[in-house]
Structure 1
Amino acid sequence: MSTPVTPRARRTRDRIQAVALDLFERHGYGATTVEAIAGAAGVTPMTFFRHYPTKDAVVVTDPFDPLVAAAVGAQPADLPVLDRVRRGLLAALDAVDPDEDEVARRRVAVVAAEPALRAAVVASTAATEAAIVDRLVADGAPRLDATVATAACLAACTAALLAADPGTPLHATVARALDVLAVAP
């Protein structure tokens, strides 16, 4: 059972992330230390690590897995699994507000510029994949089908985000990637 996040903790977490992104954009991911992030955010390194277990977590961690899994689960069960995942991902993106979209675009730009972060992206994507697959299996989808469909959709999204124009809204980039996987009627 996870501990509820207080408004104060959320503000601190958001401040740390905003400062980290500013520093990464200005000085580069590799040249920015946790100590520099903590100092600029007005917190101690211990407080930083209370909110983010690693420096890369500031860039690759997001709160969207439960939202995405629920959006996939809300799709009609009679659709092919690939369509459920595609539609669910798009529905989840529709729920992202403009401020969250901007932060996500900044995070993607940092990852795209820093190949060392790719392993952290893979680990984060695996957590998203597990949440979606578990939801689909709970709804009766065969695990193999759920795993393949989810992996295909998430790989398409990741590839598109890393190659996209930084000014393009995330929704447009992801929608285009998922359209590539669409099965013609």
Structure 2
Amino acid sequence: MPDQHSTLRAQRRAETQRVIQAHAVRLFTGHGYDATTVADVAEAAGVSPMTVYRHFPTKEDLVLVDQHARLVAERIAASSAAQPLVRRIGSALIDAATTLTSGGSGNSGDSPTTNEQFLLARLRLMISTPALRARHLDNNYALQQAIVDALGDGATDSDTAFRTQAAASACLAAMHTALVRWSEDDGRTDLPDVIAKALAAAFGEGVLGTGPDA
């Protein structure tokens, strides 16, 4: 069955990618990003350098590639177009963070889960490594465009397109502030909650439809 075979291939590819990236982040964290080569990552993962490059075309991709843009776009596409732009975008960012952290610890002082530890390590590498900071900015622009595309507004209306882009940019700025705060807190707090607080600080308590102004 071709569909079943395609699914199995996709699953194997995703698992290989996950293993390679996990080893890469571990080595970058332990030995330094600049001191670790792609060959080092390949050896640790038990694959060839060519296999690494097949999944991650650049060294930076070993840290930066994730499912965030896809998850956010899916959440936005599934949301009601009747909701305010910032609510649609903000809720999607929080839902995607919940998925990526697998629920999280939820309580201050608790140890981060395995997925949270991995995300935290990647985030620290992005913040501390100049080459990754530059590429992270590119990724942020790509995420902004994915959000705009998922909203499906403004294709022929420049004013609507401008409002959509501005809303996406502002929400991503709030999320970046939340990510930095979460990193500084060593992942002890719940990331989706920190993002929600950052959005509320930027746009008001009712931005997500849960506060007194909703």
The interval holding the TM-score normalised by the smaller chain is 0.7 to 0.9
Q: After the TM superposition, which parts of structure 1 deviate over 3 Å for at least 4 consecutive aligned residues? A: 98-102, 138-141
Task: Name the amino acid aligned to 2:187.
Answer: G
State percent identity of aligned pairs: 36
Per-residue deviation, 1:149 = 0.6
| Cα RMSD (Å) | 2.3
TM superposition score normalised by structure 2: 0.76
Query: Which residue of 10, 13, 16 maps to 1:12?
Result: 16
Is structure 2 residue 191 aligned with structure 1 residue 170? yes
Contact 1:73 1:88 survives alignment (8 Å) = no
CA distance in 2, matches of 1:94, 1:27: 30
Count the aligned residue pairs.
183
Residues 124-143 of structure 1: pairs in structure 2 closer than 5 A:
124-138=139-153, 142-143=160-161
Larger Rg: 2
- Unaligned ranges ≥5, structure 2: 1-5, 104-113, 206-212
Aligned partner of 1:145 in structure 2 is 163
| Aligned partner of residue 103 in structure 1, secondary structure | helix
Per-residue deviation, 1:92 = 2.5
**Larger CA deviation: 168-177 vs 125-134:** 168-177
Residues 1-150 of structure 1: pairs in structure 2 closer than 5 A:
6-96=10-100, 97=102, 99-138=114-153, 142-150=160-168
Per-residue deviation, 1:163 = 4.1
Task: Name the amino acid aligned to 1:133.
Answer: V
TM superposition score normalised by structure 1: 0.86
**Larger CA deviation: 130-139 vs 14-23:** 130-139
- Unaligned ranges ≥5, structure 1: none
Contact 1:77 1:139 survives alignment (8 Å) = no
Contact 2:73 2:150 survives alignment (8 Å) = yes
